[in-house]
Structure 1
């Protein structure tokens, strides 16, 4: 007799996209050592600006507390310390959203909770994701052998698919602003998804990891939409907001009114977290609390403005070249149509070899991305300007 494994893992693709990008870069560098130092990476989704000073100071203070018997802390509450939950609660009031602190769960990032939340749902549920898609949504459900269906997006709907009668789904993943397309739903469109979920008894898993880039009257939270508390769970990360990609902290909001089949999902999630999660460190949570302070918000806005300026450099280049794109204005991602009707991998190869610029081929995010390409604003001003100058010269040569 032998131990049985979860065969669903064997059905998953390897991390093909970024491993293949890395492989092609290595080959190019080995063949072109004299120019390999000119490479500019515009495909990475990681931030480059350092943690805000107020965050660092708060973490230093917390670390010192942990070194004194009088202020040392052991295990903290799995759902997060009250001081951070209260800071998040107050932040949401800026959007007109009132939350109870017990609806806020501090986590080590949105990615973890977007997968872990599936513990609350039966494996027979059908899952709807938009295409192009953040691969985590698909892979975490494939690990449980759930059926996954796709709402296809395209240039025709500006990569913002809307609900349709044929989408018979129990769980719906929405990301706005979207990764990879940068597209953002307005209130009217998001309200249609909420109404669709209510009519079908579905649960929306709303990924708001990039809400800090939203400007104007676009919603930051799905809970700005009437009725969302009956159909939605929201996930947010401090990774892009405050440079916490290497520090790890985020939060998930599960309304205390959200119920299905006699089960209260808020209480179920609390039970899950207290069983399977030990919480985020005290030092990290004190740093996260500083994000929402007056000084912290000022510092963070400076960093976000820096990335927005980069995004504008990119979008101005696309406008000048008359290239279709989404994103950039409310997102750090610019999703552009490959010039000359090239497929995304061909465009990747030519941009690398002729302009020494790296982006992300859209085909890695799904069928709808085959002729599109993602650039990010997470670089320096100098590299972004240089990359776009090269990009412009490259595109002009292809026409």
Structure 2
């Protein structure tokens, strides 16, 4: 048994490689000899983590919000920032999970709902996802892998492809694409003048190109991250645009990682809800989606990724086979209770309730979009997506974020947090209680009407 005999508070030098490392140490006795235990290990830090700039966007926003509350503890903060759902999960979906939880308390129920399940997801759920979300038969159940959400799968896909890939991302786009690419060794150093990482191709999406990028810039990209409807701009790609994207990927031998997290918000019939509606996409694309923004599963965690049978690596080996191997090594399967909730979502009652919930948030988006436009601002999105992308005429987006927080006690998201092309914009999220949305519009009109 170790007994402490002294503590050395003065850093003790340690030579590691060519570096002199200061170490704090404590001395312990084992009864036979004194052992010095160092507070610094011999393990060097992952250099890719050191390339990351600042904190991840949404925790950073939360930190600033909490600092604001310390100065104004009575402030009634309204969040239009992080896209977190607020409304209760519909009753038919809750009932499915209750049945699952109750079953865990009986031998027969535990046999059905307990223990390890297939890493790919329960067969019945995979079948239901295929029939509900891919009714044209373009995706089969055995190409669907159930998981704990799209964000987790995005990082696992990085592991699948390994480091030192040429990656392209929409600019602006969900920050996890870039951050996970940096962590996994795709990027070189950060350029403060351009606010971009080297070896990542930023595909500018703005009103001048109808929020669809010049794909020629991605000719050398092996992996292309693409989100439709886009987070944060709310732009949904048309069938013609996605046809061009698939053609580009096939011509250049690239793989598209297609994020369809907000596809259920699309109302324009010319905007596909899945990349697999485009012929040939099964030879060049992976699609990820989730129940988070459809059924309020942001905390419950349930999603899926489609890896087509026809998708192959350069040597002809199956991408699906490697993904299956990776998932069964790194993941024990989504929660059985969450999967029961997913099955309930896809019943007739659950599907109708989920559709109503999406409709509620879409109405919130319409209210926000109309408010900003009435105030004199140019907006995008808010129709086929739960986000409104608001132009503040080139102002620094973090300064706009701070001004809105200080004047209105409202949290939005600064556009530059989604990439350098997002500067001059803020993103307003439609995920909120209706009374909060309406109160937010009144505060904004008083403080920011042009």
TM range (shorter): over 0.9
Aligned length: 393
- Equivalence for 2:224: 172
Partner of 2:100: 62
Offset at residue 130 of structure 1 (A): 0.9
Range 10-19 or range 39-48, more displaced:
10-19
Partner of 1:365: 418
Q: Aligned-pair distance for 1:364? A: 1.2
- Structure 1 vs Structure 2 CA RMSD: 1.7
Structure 1 residue 112 and structure 2 residue 147: aligned? no
Q: 2:374 aligns with which of 304, 320, 323?
A: 320
2:428 corresponds, among 353, 372, 375, to: 375
Q: Which structure has the bigger radius of gyration?
A: 2
1:211 corresponds to 2:263: yes
Match of 1:234 among 282, 287, 299: 287
- Among candidates 31, 49, 59, match of residue 9 of structure 1: 49
Residue 33 (structure 1) shift:
4.2
Matched with 1:139 is: 179
**Match of residue 195 from structure 2:** none
Per mean C-alpha deviation after superposition, the further-off stretch among 148-157 and 80-89 is 148-157
TM-score by length of 1: 0.94
C-alpha contact 2:377 2:391 (8 A) present in aligned 1: yes
CA gap of 1:16–1:243, structure 2 versus 1, over 3 A, is closer
Q: Offset of 1:23 from its aligned partner?
A: 4.1
SS of residue matched to 2:109: coil
In 1, Cα distance between the equivalents of 2:432 and 2:125? 30
2: CA distance between counterparts of 1:166 and 1:268? 25
Contact in 2 for aligned 1:92/1:98 (Cα 8 Å): no
**Aligned equivalents of 1:165, 1:310: Cα separation in 2:** 36
Out of 228, 234, 240, the residue aligned to residue 188 of structure 1 is 240
The answer to whether 1:88 aligns with 2:142 is no
Change over 3 Å in CA distance of 1:274–1:322 after alignment to 2: same
Gaps (5+ residues) in structure 2? 1-15, 17-41, 187-198
- Structure 1 gaps of 5+ residues are none
Aligned to 1:121: 161
What does residue 267 of structure 1 align with?
321
Task: Give the structure 2 partner of residue 286 of structure 1.
Answer: 340
CA distance in structure 2 between the partners assigned to 1:266 and 1:24 by the alignment: 42
Q: 1:69 to 1:30 in 2, by over 3 A?
A: closer
Q: Is the 8 A contact 1:97 1:224 kept in 2?
A: no
Query: 8 Å contact 2:416–2:425 — kept in the other structure?
Result: yes
- Provide TM-score, normalisation by structure 2: 0.84
Q: 2:63, 2:139 → 1: CA distance?
A: 46
Paired residue secondary structure (2:289): strand
Tell me, yes or no, if structure 1 residue 51 matches structure 2 residue 92: no
Moved more, 301-310 or 219-228: 301-310
The structural deviation recorded for 1:45 is 0.8
**1:363-385 CA-partner distances (Å, limit 9, x unpaired):** 11111111000000001111111
| Larger RCO, structures 1/2 (Cα 8 Å, 6+ apart) | 1
| Greater CA drift, 100-109 or 63-72 | 63-72
User: 1:112 & 1:28 partners in 2: Cα distance?
Assistant: 30
Q: Say whether 1:342 aligns with 2:425.
A: no
Alpha-carbon shift at residue 20 of structure 1 (Å): 4.1
CA separation of 1:182/1:270 partners in 2, compared to 1, >3 Å: closer, same or farther?
Answer: same
Distance 1:99 1:132, change over 3 A: same
Query: Are 1:304 and 2:361 matched, yes or no?
Result: no
Higher helix content, 1 or 2: 1
